[in-house]
Structure 1
């Protein structure tokens, strides 16, 4: 037989177990490149995104890349953080020799709540220099809420593939070869008739 006190205790445990908050996953920072793969000489954009963040008040990060494959042409603040209010930002310092866009940051101004949800933090314009694949890696990562406490984020590095552009002479040679094959087949079909 269960005693009355045990029933109350069991009911309290059941209530606490059912009403306990579910721990949310960490926000995720990732890279979205378009178009990918890209070709040598082509300009393309990369968005640094955040997903499922709560109360983001400010952030900072650096973005690394292979300078033999890519060159940063420019960068600009994304629209996610500024959707919550006025910001002070810097799209980072470009060092194409070292292969890094250093200390891009944005922070809200004034005692207001941070941004919640998902969106673009930074847009980076690249030029593809050579064929190959390069990792896009994060460093100096810091995300803060409106109380200036750290926000846990999962950082997902990305990569960009660059393909070589076929040389015009190779394309011309291929077309000439296809024309020769077609002419030979036509002459064979006429001879058979």
Structure 2
């Protein structure tokens, strides 16, 4: 419960800081206050990592100079780890809700098509350079590029067909391996 309260306090303080920075130092915009608040909330949640917090708490000494144990060291580490965990969970689950679904812009689609065209040209070039000595290596590289193209296209039908073919090959290998 303490970690959750600390997390709310940290995120609340960060939100207030971002809002004040936007009000006093940000450009004067005519955006509605709800949109500015939403942007500040997104910015507050997106900066959550905890690397420095964890490193600084783990660097606390076990013992003080007089030989006594560092007071509440374990509690400090536990609270820091808890806050880090809560902030990571908050950013992972709340940011997608705040941002919403991204729609692909025309420019992103053009970039994707350009990447696919480049990869296709690389595959064509590799096919032309393939010899008997480098056939296996070229096939592996071509397979990698083909997989990247499939990922860019997000072509599920092609992926299903490849899985089906792969399962058929595995089944054939098992049947023929048993005979050998």
TM-score with structure 2 length normalisation? 0.21
Higher RCO (C-alpha under 8 Å, 6+ residues apart): 1
Quick check: which one's strand share is greater?
A: 1
Quick check: which one's helix share is greater?
A: 2
